[in-house]
Structure 1
């Protein structure tokens, strides 16, 4: 307690402490910890802001994406490339809005919700976000366990249990500084991209068919099986907890907290996330293109499991190392997603509940919740059960999206919160259209699942 607080009466002292807690910055241990040059060439300033966008992009190419992209490519060829493109454009817009909220207000999305809504509403929003994080963690456990099995022959249940050890990975990286954490993430992204560049070159897909796949098709909405995977792709791409994550980690930069400094920070943060998400677009499209050109083209429309794709990739592609590259990229994806999901969990818990627990404890709790269903499903149904669980986890993510997207769009459209940084009306209209598309697609999926 400070000296000034100690002299206050008990009620005023409590109010002072509450106000001080409300004003606490997001991720206080790393807030404004990355230096930003005040002058010099523009490239140096852009480099200073590079990092958060790539950490966010990790969630857009996690193991859950692999399952939906493989299933979509093997069953429907290149048709669902249009869904990947659409979801990536949605992600670019929404992540730019999340960065703007964090920089303009100094509050992350969870803190902004807590400042605006009642306790019951905030509790429900927190539960929805926690469900999304657990679903994401579920995908990471399955993906990492499959990668360990493919590369080292470790049984799926053993691999799932080993993933509990990564609870200490984030703690180790954070102790070395936030820039070191970003460098670790970017290094793994380079490995993933390199693996897929080689596989795409070997697959040599027909360019005309690939380009046609990016064009919209009404079949995506009218075919229930295609719609299910399409919504899984959207859920795997526009991940709700990434909006909370981005609104927080953009504040790690030590930009001037003035209108001019914030405006400059918003520009570079948006540039950073847009470039990073274009990399995510390449990765997701590459997975689906490989599945379409290798499996669908050879009549293997039944390939929906990562392990199955691994076994068939090298023989059908005629490249001995293809399957190994596939598994290495999957392991790198699982490790990367672990880091960002843990951070998002911390941001959400602190933002909504003001609850601070050690990172390792938070990680063990979340990972433990995710490991249990993986072990049970693997024990009862085998590998096929985990493949279906992986795709289902992405649909759960999509179901949580409105609970993050709608508050975000509302906040950045509110001049009372954003001041001069409020988004233009045409951007607000576009953002509400994106939110409406997500809600309508989810309702269509629910109807087809339970009624149709």
Structure 2
């Protein structure tokens, strides 16, 4: 993976079926009242991914390895290992089930054999691609499909002549209550994906070897900001089209009619095109999620991160199999995908706090340690996510 693609790989990783589904639900149910959560998510993703990229360039290793090396006491090192393995394992298993469910929904629109069988077939495809190591070209094709879909959403939005005044009024009237909190956490979880921090650091560490570190950091920072902002714009466009089709309308959004938001341009073919986009987004993320888990777990355990090593293969294999199993259990598709995103948001503070500590304490970082500005931004991000997570838990138990 070349250095000049890492930022776009990260953006493609979070533009999965969770993004399409969550953004559609947010727009359909809340209009633009939750755009504040998306704006925060894009800002937070840029801040955290910049830290991960600097870490990879400066140390030449991934986030998991850096965390473990920073722990001088054995008990702390063991704690890091347990938390990294459990957090990324649980998070990616949930995320993988959402990826496979979303892709299965897309395929089931073409050939109706059920979500479970399609999830199993997709899991097998992901296994074959990762086992061969030739997933890169497949990923590139699917990323293009996702961006083509984004273009159609944009054209649809323009043709539908959106009520810009209503959008602006909702934008400046942010909403956060018991009805909206799960969707807010899902928007955050689908954008600030914890596993992307591990994936980015590992990709950059490998691709920047032998390069000038200062130039590599500047290039990664610029590219990541562009790619992540583009991903945020795609999410916003999906929210807007769903808002125009469903918000304050008699119809309610579900898995069967989500593609209705594309009808102004595509007519009766809208559902099929939407299904194709959902499939391509799902398979892309279904490949990157287990890949990132493999980097994180092998780094934490001190095992080989070579894609052809047995330990590396074993980790992503477990993630895929768990994802297939959960997807095949028959959960309702949209709640399953939404739950996967919310789970990621609740796990995010654990990983983000560790990243902040590493970026301030690691001796290997040198000039690439966090500045006071980066620390303030990081604290704001972590504090906000922790606050939202606590708000969610309080409403669950009280």
- TM-score, L = length of structure 1: 0.80
Q: Distance in 1 between matches of 2:65 and 2:55?
A: 11
Q: Distance in 2 between matches of 1:56 and 1:133?
A: 15
The counterpart of 2:382, out of the listed 432, 435, 444, is 435
Q: Does 1:241 align with 2:188?
A: no
Q: Which segments of 5 or more consecutive residues in structure 1 lack a partner in the other structure?
A: 1-29, 35-48, 379-384
Aligned residue in 2 for 1:67: 21
Q: Is the 8 A contact 2:189 2:342 kept in 1?
A: yes
* Aligned-residue CA RMSD (Å): 2.3
Q: Does 1:412 align with 2:359?
A: yes
Aligned residue in 2 for 1:54: 8
Report the CA distance shift for 1:208/1:414 in structure 2 as closer, same or farther (over 3 A).
farther
Aligned residue in 2 for 1:22: none
Q: Does 1:349 align with 2:297?
A: yes
Q: Does 1:114 align with 2:68?
A: yes
The counterpart of 1:196, out of the listed 131, 142, 153, is 153
SS of corresponding position for 1:377:
coil
Q: Does 1:206 align with 2:163?
A: yes
Q: Is the 8 A contact 1:294 1:316 kept in 2?
A: no
Cα deviation, residue 155, structure 1: 1.8
Aligned residue in 2 for 1:287: 238
Report the CA distance shift for 1:386/1:263 in structure 2 as closer, same or farther (over 3 A).
same
Aligned residue in 1 for 2:288: 340
Aligned residue in 2 for 1:296: 247
SS of corresponding position for 1:152:
coil
Aligned residue in 2 for 1:44: none
Cα deviation, residue 192, structure 1: 3.3
Q: Is the 8 A contact 1:411 1:418 kept in 2?
A: no
Aligned residue in 2 for 1:232: 186
Q: Distance in 1 between matches of 2:170 and 2:206?
A: 39
Aligned residue in 2 for 1:424: 371
What does 1:299-318 align with in structure 2 at a 5 Å threshold?
299-300=250-251, 302-303=252-253, 305-310=254-259, 312-313=260-261
Q: Is the 8 A contact 1:195 1:329 kept in 2?
A: no
Aligned residues between the structures? 387
Aligned residue in 2 for 1:364: 317
Q: Does 1:150 align with 2:109?
A: yes
Q: Deviations over 1:363-405 (max 9, x none)?
A: 4321211122222234xxxxxx222122111111111101111
Cα deviation, residue 165, structure 1: 1.6
Aligned residue in 2 for 1:320: 268
Aligned residue in 2 for 1:278: 229
Q: Distance in 2 between matches of 1:82 and 1:421?
A: 31
Q: Is the 8 A contact 2:37 2:184 kept in 1?
A: yes
Q: Distance in 2 between matches of 1:424 and 1:216?
A: 34
SS of corresponding position for 2:256:
helix
Q: Deviations over 1:207-230 (max 9, x none)?
A: 23334444462x32xx11111210
Q: Is the 8 A contact 2:27 2:242 kept in 1?
A: yes
Structure 1 consecutive aligned stretches of length 4 or more whose deviation exceeds 4 Å: 314-318, 358-361
Q: Is the 8 A contact 1:149 1:159 kept in 2?
A: yes
Cα deviation, residue 278, structure 1: 1.4
Q: Is the 8 A contact 2:142 2:281 kept in 1?
A: no
Q: Is the 8 A contact 2:290 2:316 kept in 1?
A: yes
Higher RCO, Cα 8 Å, sep 6+: 2
Q: Is the 8 A contact 1:188 1:336 kept in 2?
A: no
Report the CA distance shift for 1:386/1:187 in structure 2 as closer, same or farther (over 3 A).
closer
Q: Is the 8 A contact 2:41 2:188 kept in 1?
A: yes
Larger displacement relative to structure 2 (150-159 or 140-149): 150-159
